[in-house]
Structure 1
């Protein structure tokens, strides 16, 4: 039995055929003129696709049932994930909050008695620590929503900040490199100029207005002054560190501050930032004997980014509390750091416990399915 015409759902091809027929009728095309018919059909593709695209978008936006179903699935996953990792997430939150509080206490201390080099070091370390706390929060937001790979990408940023903080802290009070923090802060104008010049090249394609020439000229003047002061190498990406580390790149600074052992983790995290083919191969996992692409959330793989994030946040806090305080390390800061060390260790253990429980539950399912 055929359905009534009004209940039949036409395919895109059917709709396009109807669209072309109407176009042919409107154009009063002769059935024998095949060339004219082909031309009209070809010219109909783009307007038809545009029309249907808007129609489909309208229908999808109005489809409340599908939205509710997808939202329910998403909420269900999040509820189960947070139940499994409740203690671990709690530990992460407490550890990050303690690091933030330690930073706030140091930021509230006065600058007045410090030298210019000490002020710059303190300012830079506070700034890096504050940003580190924010990024650690971003890692947490990704973890509690089942996106460990995204969290790992943000861990990459945290690691870079910890490396830079390590260099600044290493040079605090060093007669040879005590001005490293000043160089680091002065280098902002190099990045600003590079970004401004790129924008000037792209603004037309972006449909934006160009920057004022007066602003560009001012940046050029400041850049030239900085390069005249520090040398031509200052214009490089890590030019601020050239005197401190002749191999002025992140890897070189890593080795100088004794964080080179983290390079493999950094490279792993980089696969979640860049579009290399290695990142594609890593975006597959085994699910009950079948290799699947990771296209959504998952409840495993959270331990590594959580551990990496808290480790970098701890390092940032160490640099600030040891080298960024006006009167040096005191007993309160020492206890704070010991507590943070203990908290991050316990939190990592809680993540591992959650993973063990998930693995045990999965093994039970596989046994029941004879897999």
Structure 2
């Protein structure tokens, strides 16, 4: 009996040949009721080595297939070219706005001022650190926008918003004697997360195939942890425990309301769907295009304005917090002029993203209209 026709074997065909050979190697030459269980056992045992062998062959074939790679690369390059033609001015304005925000802070004296007390130095250090991280995250947002991933950019813009909220709380505390040490608490809360991460790692390091942490390091963390809890109370152990006295509802939503940024809650919740694995995020990832609905699994040229504006606003807020509350000297006319210039830059950049989005929407409407007119 001919098992295969004269054609290229499929994976299923190859597997059947593999099983037949395994049966022959086991001295089973006939299929009958007396050895059916043994046949099933041998066939089952043959699956894993066969799949591993074929998988390696497929991997090697794909790796050698440079033609497909070049086609995908050419398609990607074409999309990026069209995206930058549409958003070129907006991208340029975004880079200028965020670069100026960074430069406006680096122009300031970054070394601690000896005239500042402990609370003021902590506030300055924390605001400077939040601003630096914010500028880096803004660069990540840009990288995602520049390559057609607005949903990913929105997720990183969410992080920027959180940084701005914390900076707002620390800046607000500078005018409140009752909470003047909020930045100190914020910085010292680092040991809570560090200890928690160390305990988790120590528990999982064997399964991870990693070396355990040194006991001396763990003892040092534990001593710092106990000291901080003794100093600030048991609530300090919780997430946002550093803010419990300043804001009894010590979570990101409570702080957001406290510093009067709750008008951004809707955007924050929207962005959260791009961070977490809830079902809402799945439904949001389906989109309609010219009468068809599909999952979005790649790049797009729509939806860039929202994450861009959210990121630009947060970077501006972080910059304002430092220039107003993180400097060692009082507000002067130069700083005030810089703040106005930065506000103008971020506003202009946001408008350019909206303008590009409107142009794309109008071009799509015109294209659909031309299809309806085609005989």
Report if aligned partners of 1:193, 1:220 keep a CA contact under 8 Å in 2.
yes
Q: Are 1:113 and 2:115 counterparts?
A: yes
Matched, 1:82 2:84: yes
Give the superposition deviation at 1:37. Answer: 1.8
Find out whether 1:276 has 2:275 as its counterpart. Answer: no
Task: Describe the SS at the equivalent of 1:366.
Answer: helix
Stretches of structure 1 that go unaligned for 5 or more consecutive residues are none
Aligned to 1:176, the other structure's residue is in SS state helix
Answer yes or no: is 1:186 the counterpart of 2:183: no
SS in 2 for 1:286: strand
Separation in structure 1 between the aligned mates of residue 184 and residue 79 of structure 2, nearest angstrom: 48
1:308 aligned partner: 310
1:363 to 347, 353, 365: 365
Equivalences for 1:41-120 in 2 at 5 Å? 41-108=43-110, 110-120=112-122
In the TM superposition, residue 226 of structure 1 has moved relative to its aligned partner by 0.2
Q: Deviations over 1:277-311 (max 9, x none)?
A: 01011111110111111110000000000000000
1:56-109 superposed Cα distances (whole Å, 9 cap, x missing partner) = 111111110010000000111001101100000011000000001012112535
What residue number does 2:348 align with? 346
1:35, distance to aligned residue in structure 2 (A): 2.4
CA distance in 1, matches of 2:200, 2:110: 38
User: In structure 2, what is the equivalent of residue 17 of structure 1?
Assistant: 16
The one of 259, 262, 272 aligned to 2:261: 259
Stretches of structure 2 that go unaligned for 5 or more consecutive residues are none
User: For the residues of structure 2 that align with 1:233 and 1:330, how far apart are their CA atoms?
Assistant: 40
Q: Is the 8 A contact 2:112 2:121 kept in 1?
A: no
Q: How many residues align?
A: 367
Instruction: Pick the aligned partner of 1:136 from 132, 135, 138.
Output: 138
Deviations 1:311-364 (A, max 9, x none): 000000010000000012221211111111111111111111111111121112
**Cα distance between partner residues in 2 of 1:200 and 1:109:** 37
Q: TM-score, normalised by structure 2?
A: 0.95
The equivalent residue for 2:42 is 40
Deviations 1:151-196 (A, max 9, x none): 0000110000000000000011421111000000000000100111
Take 1:128 and 1:196, find their aligned partners in 2: how far apart are those partners? 24
1:24 and 1:205 map into 2 onto residues whose CA distance is 37
Do the aligned partners of residues 223 and 109 (structure 1) sit closer, same or farther apart at CA in structure 2, a change above 3 Å counting?
A: closer
Matched residue SS, 2:29: coil
Per the alignment, in what secondary structure is the counterpart of residue 243 of structure 1? coil
Q: In the alignment, which residue of structure 2 is the partner of 1:197?
A: 199
Aligned mates of 1:219, 1:356 — CA distance in 2? 54
Which residue of 2 is the match for residue 27 of structure 1? 26
Q: Conserved in 2, the CA contact under 8 Å of 1:107 and 1:126?
A: no
RMSD of aligned residue pairs (Cα, Å): 1.5
Q: Distance in 2 between matches of 1:136 and 1:176?
A: 33
- After TM superposition, give the deviation of residue 110 of structure 1 in Å: 4.9
Indicate whether 1:294 and 2:293 are aligned. Answer: no
Task: Tell me the equivalent position of 2:149.
Answer: 147
Call closer, same or farther: CA 1:205–1:295 in 2, change over 3 Å.
Answer: same
Mapped to 1, the partners of 2:266 and 2:207 lie a distance apart of 38
- CA distance in structure 2 between the partners assigned to 1:293 and 1:35 by the alignment: 44
Secondary structure at the counterpart of residue 294 of structure 2: strand
Distance in 1, Cα, partners of 2:22 & 2:318: 67
d(CA) in 2 for partners of 1:11, 1:336: 68
Structure 1 partner of 2:319: 317
TM-score using structure 1 length: 0.96
Q: Distance in 2 between matches of 1:201 and 1:37?
A: 44
Question: CA–CA distance in 2 between the matches of 1:186 and 1:110?
Answer: 18
Separation of aligned partners in 2, 1:30 and 1:109 = 84
SS at match of 1:370: helix
